[in-house]
Structure 1
Amino acid sequence: MASSVTKVISFEDLKALLGKSEHLFLVDVRTKDEVDKGYIQGSVHIPLDTVDAAFSMAPDKFKEKYKVTKPLCDAPELVFYCMMGMRGTTATNKAYELGYVNARNYTGGYKEWSVKEKK
């Protein structure tokens, strides 16, 4: 079962990646209303109910829709997040099912991020 292989990333590790990694692909799976109230800088908004379709798209269609290059299945730093971790877990598991072997979930979600970043 995919959920047993879900990898997670901590606030500290994500913050470090945001500061140094050019390969980080950070995906916000919350609703548009949630994102409108705040998000982690540099993230791409792909709502949870569209993750399967988005990551199944051809690279050119993905770029056209999301204005960023679709990550490869072996992308080293693919991270999903939501508000508190549950939807991020679902999205991470879906990514694994689609072959994204390094997908991780930021379990603290935007709730933890906004507290620690004083947003």
Structure 2
Amino acid sequence: MANSDKVISYSDLKALIDKGDGLVLVDVRNKSEVDKGRIPGSINIPVDNVESELSLDPDAFKEKYGVPKPPLDCPHLVFHCQLGRRGEAATNKAKSLGFQNARNYAGAYKEWSEKEGQ
């Protein structure tokens, strides 16, 4: 059972996206999944690469992803996958690296695409 401090709901995520304030949204699906549709503003880091990519130095991260590397105290670092399991794994990896506020969007892309009609 996921504890609530590690999970974010669709409505909370939608509000963060609309606000655009300090959200780093990481899609941990593989590229072929992402090519079929993605949550706007997300960056794609496959789950197996999360630890190595979040360990990059800030300049290398920005060059690779086009966004600043989230600081360890990033208030809104959210991971998601297709159904929720890989997002949870990525959240746990980020927390082990010191990203204390990392959360999983448990509804994942499946819920997002249903609610957004994509």
Once the two structures are TM-superposed, the CA of residue 66 in structure 1 deviates from its matched residue by: 1.2
Once the two structures are TM-superposed, the CA of residue 21 in structure 1 deviates from its matched residue by: 3.2
State the Cα RMSD in Å. 1.4
Bigger drift between 20-29 and 80-89 goes to: 20-29
Q: Which amino acid aligns with 2:9?
A: S
Summarize deviations over 1:34-86 as a string: whole Å, max 9, x none: 00000000000111111010001111111111111100000000000000100
Any gaps of 5 or more consecutive residues in structure 2? Answer: none
Any gaps of 5 or more consecutive residues in structure 1? Answer: none
Relative distance call for 1:108 and 1:80 in structure 2 (3 A) is same
Aligned to 1:87, the other structure's residue is in SS state helix
Alignment partner, residue 117 of structure 2 = 118
Q: Please give the alpha-carbon distance, in whole angstroms, between the structure 1 residues aligned to 2:59 and 2:5.
A: 28
Aligned to 2:25, the other structure's residue is in SS state strand
- Give me the TM-score of the superposition, normalised by structure 2: 0.95
In the TM superposition, structure 1's runs of 4+ consecutive aligned residues that sit over 3 Å from their partners are 3-6
- Give me the TM-score of the superposition, normalised by structure 1: 0.94
Q: Please give the alpha-carbon distance, in whole angstroms, between the structure 1 residues aligned to 2:83 and 2:9.
A: 12
Alignment partner, residue 36 of structure 1 = 35
Q: Which amino acid aligns with 1:102?
A: N
Alignment partner, residue 103 of structure 1 = 102
Alignment partner, residue 63 of structure 1 = 62
Aligned length: 117
